[in-house]
């Protein structure tokens, strides 16, 4: 996790649903109401970096807003992941699905979410490795394409690593005759 890590920066700008607990003047444009103050109880989607700060900053014991889990980590997605991790195109949920999940696990006490995420990551990683090894060796990319399109950033990185390893190995095996 580096300061310059693009994935971390992009994860920071994922939107999360928040509910304002205080009335804020001049912020009405967040709710498409430019001339009005932002009423307490309004729900808006804010980027994670802003929402996290506001949720953790207290002013006379009420935080500015309360966070809730983003729809990408909602019950629907989790149930689908519990049923079969391989069948869910995670990229459609969020480009940085696991990054977002890890940040949410920091903010919320959700042991079950952690278990589901870890299981999906490990199971899908096995599948990613299989495709990474096969890529370029055979021509049947058709069946894999759906799965590959559903990979999110961490998995794409894994795929690249698995493929690099297999490629280096294959190059050496082909060159050993010389």
Partner 1 sequence: MALPLPPGLVPTEVAFLCEMEMVTIIPRQRLESISLLSGQIPTLRPPHRAQLPLWLALLLKKQRRANIVPPSWLHPASLSEIIHHEINIDPEGFSPPPPPVTRSDGRGMARPYGDSKPGDMVLSPPFLPSCAADAPSSYLPYHWLELSETLLAHASDDIHGAAEVRTLLRDLQEVRAAKMRGSTTQLEGGGGVVGLRGVGAMELAESRGFVLGVVEGVRKLGASAEATRREEEEARSEGGEESDEDMAFG
- List of residues contacting partner 1 (CB under 8 A): 1, 98, 101-102, 105-106, 109, 111, 114-115, 117-119, 121-123, 125-126, 129-130, 132-133, 154, 157-158, 161-162, 164-166, 168-169, 171-173, 176-177
Sign of CA pseudo-dihedral 119, 71, 8, 57: negative
Q: How far is the CB of 31 from partner 1 (least distance, A)?
A: 32
Cβ neighbour number for residue 98 with a 10 Å cutoff? 20
User: What is the spatial distance between Cα 107 and Cα 12, in angstroms, rounded to a whole number?
Assistant: 13
**Rounded least distance, CB 119 to partner 1, Å:** 5
How far apart CA 7 and CA 16 sit, in angstroms, is 17
Assigned token pair, 62 = 């009420």
Which of residues 20 and 98 has its CB atom nearest to partner 1 in the complex? 98
CB of 143 to partner 1, least distance (A): 18
Residue nearer to partner 1 on the CB measure, 38 or 55: 55
At closest approach, how far in Å is the CB of 122 from partner 1?
A: 4
Residue 43 near residue 19, CB atoms below 8 Å = yes
For partner 1, the closer of residues 149 and 169 by Cβ is 169
Q: Where are the beta strands (DSSP E) in the chain?
A: 15-20, 43-47, 58-59, 62-63, 65-67
Which is closer to partner 1, CB of 58 or CB of 178? 178
Nearer to partner 1, 58 or 177 (CB): 177
> What is the side-by-side strand order in the sheet with 43-47?
43-47, 15-20, 65-67
CB of residue 50 vs partner 1: minimum separation in angstroms?
21
């Amino acid at each position: 996790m580096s300061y310059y890590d693009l994935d971390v920066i992009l994860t920071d700008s994922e939107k999360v649903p928040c509910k304002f607990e205080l009335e804020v003047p001049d912020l009405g444009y967040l709710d498409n109401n430019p001339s009005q103050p932002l009423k307490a109880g309004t729900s808006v989607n804010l980027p994670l970096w802003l929402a996290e700060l506001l949720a953790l900053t207290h002013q006379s014991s009420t935080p500015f807003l309360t966070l809730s889990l983003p729809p990408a980590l909602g019950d629907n997605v989790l149930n689908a992941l519990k049923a079969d991790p391989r069948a869910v195109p995670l990229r459609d949920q969020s480009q940085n699905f696991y990054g977002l999940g890890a940040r949410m696990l920091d903010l919320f006490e959700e042991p079950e979410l952690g278990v589901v995420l870890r299981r999906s990551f490990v199971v899908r990683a096995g599948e990613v490795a299989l495709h990474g090894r096969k890529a370029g060796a055979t021509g049947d990319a058709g069946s894999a394409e759906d799965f590959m399109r559903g990979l999110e950033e961490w998995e794409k990185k894994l795929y690249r690593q698995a493929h690099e390893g297999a490629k280096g190995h294959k190059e050496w095996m082909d060159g050993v005759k010389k």
